[in-house]
């Protein structure tokens, strides 16, 4: 990752999720979802939040 990408990524994490720890928590939840997803385990909002994080990471890495 280029230095500019890293700076943009860290800014995005802090602005969108408050801290790297909160960001990591959401990503970890996404991992759990992929392993254990069943009806009524996670809310639609929780799944959308994880998708948003993944999309954000992809966007930053592509620029």
Structure confidence at residue 15 (pLDDT): 93
Contact (CB, 8 A) for 30 and 50: yes
Residue 13 CB-density burial (10 A; 0-12 exposed, 13-18 middle, 19+ buried) = buried
Q: What is the pLDDT of residues 15-57, one digit of tens each?
A: 998 988 888 888 888 888 777 778 888 888 988 888 888 888 8
Q: Calculate the alpha carbon distances from 15 to 9, 32, 41, 54, 56 in Å.
A: 10, 24, 28, 15, 12
Instruction: Please state the pTM of the whole predicted model.
Output: 0.61
């Amino acid at each position: 990752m280029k230095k500019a990408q890293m700076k943009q990524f860290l800014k995005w994490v802090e602005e969108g999720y408050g801290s790297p720890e909160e960001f990591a928590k959401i990503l970890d939840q996404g991992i759990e979802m992929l392993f254990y997803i069943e009806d009524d385990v996670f809310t639609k909002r929780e799944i959308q939040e994880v998708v948003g994080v993944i999309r954000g990471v992809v966007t930053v890495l592509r620029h």
